[in-house]
Amino acid sequence: MNFLKGIHYRSRIFYDALDLLKLGRKRFFRFQIAAQHIKPGESVIDVCAGCGALKDFILRDCAYTAVEASPEFSLTLKQKGIECISCDLHRGWPESIPTADVIVMVISLCQFRDTSAERLLESFKKAAKRVVIVEEVLKKPRLKGSWFQKLINYLCATDFYVPVDSWYTGSEFEKLMQNHGYQCEKTSGRYRVGSYGFNPGQDKVS
């Protein structure tokens, strides 16, 4: 069973299979939401990019860069010809990362809730003109010691992962966004979107 420890962030096949099992045909919805915020020709930094699935949803003339800690995912990104910056974001946002038009982070902020989430939200505002955070949220927090959260923590247990007790609830995420000057929107599904630097009602592409 030990081979399962950390497998979620070591194996693209496992990651994609679990995503398919959990979300079926709706698994691309989160990328579609993020892509709606990106205009033609913009430079995009996808933070916690996984294997770069977002790239397939943005326009071809956008310059796409991934930021990722998993050595296996970073290798896949490089094999796909995607520029990848490898770093551990629990330490904060590296100043060496070039600025971009848009920073995007999809279903990843909660991993940093006990470490660098608040610092990252501030750093993103300086590192890009606009920021989009698509986060999967819960209606209520998971109970401390929840077996489901323990299983997630086990499957993600790598040296760059810090276990969390629960993902954000919708209201926790909303409050966090407000505290850092981000706008917060609900979507029809399981996601909330935090955005910074957009003109309400004007900047969405489609």
- Smallest separation (angstroms) from ligand SAM to the CB of 50: 3
Question: Which of 38, 53, 137, 177 contacts ligand SAM by CB under 6 A?
Answer: 53
Contacts with ligand SAM, 92-121, as mask; x by CB under 6 A: --------------xxx--x----------
- Smallest separation (angstroms) from ligand SAM to the CB of 48: 3
Examine residue 190 and tell whether it contacts ligand SAM (CB under 6 A). Answer: no
Q: Which stretch binds ligand SAM (CB under 6 A): 83-91, 94-102, 176-184, 188-196?
A: 83-91
Examine residue 161 and tell whether it contacts ligand SAM (CB under 6 A). Answer: yes
Measured in degrees and rounded to the nearest 5, phi and psi for residue 43 equal -90, 135
Dist CA 80 CA 186 (whole Å): 33
Count residues binding ligand SAM (CB under 6 A).
19
- Contact call for residues 123 and 67 (beta carbons, < 8 A): no
Examine residue 58 and tell whether it contacts ligand SAM (CB under 6 A). Answer: no
Burial of 26 (0-12, 13-18, 19+ CB in 10 A): exposed
- Smallest separation (angstroms) from ligand SAM to the CB of 190: 12
Examine residue 70 and tell whether it contacts ligand SAM (CB under 6 A). Answer: yes
Who's near 106: CB < 8 A, 6+ residues apart? Answer: 30, 31, 34, 46, 48, 54, 134
Report the residue number, 50 or 197, with the smaller CB distance to ligand SAM.
50
DSSP state of 190: S
Examine residue 68 and tell whether it contacts ligand SAM (CB under 6 A). Answer: yes
Report the residue number, 90 or 119, with the smaller CB distance to ligand SAM.
90
- What Cα–Cα distance (Å) separates residue 68 from each residue in 40, 51, 73, 84, 148? 24, 9, 7, 7, 25
Question: Which of 49, 121, 127, 133 contacts ligand SAM by CB under 6 A?
Answer: 49
Pairing of β 63-68 and β 43-47: parallel
Examine residue 74 and tell whether it contacts ligand SAM (CB under 6 A). Answer: no
Who's near 101: CB < 8 A, 6+ residues apart? Answer: 39, 42, 43, 44, 128, 129, 130
Question: Which of 62, 66, 69, 109 contacts ligand SAM by CB under 6 A?
Answer: 69
Looking up tokens 């970073």 gives: 74
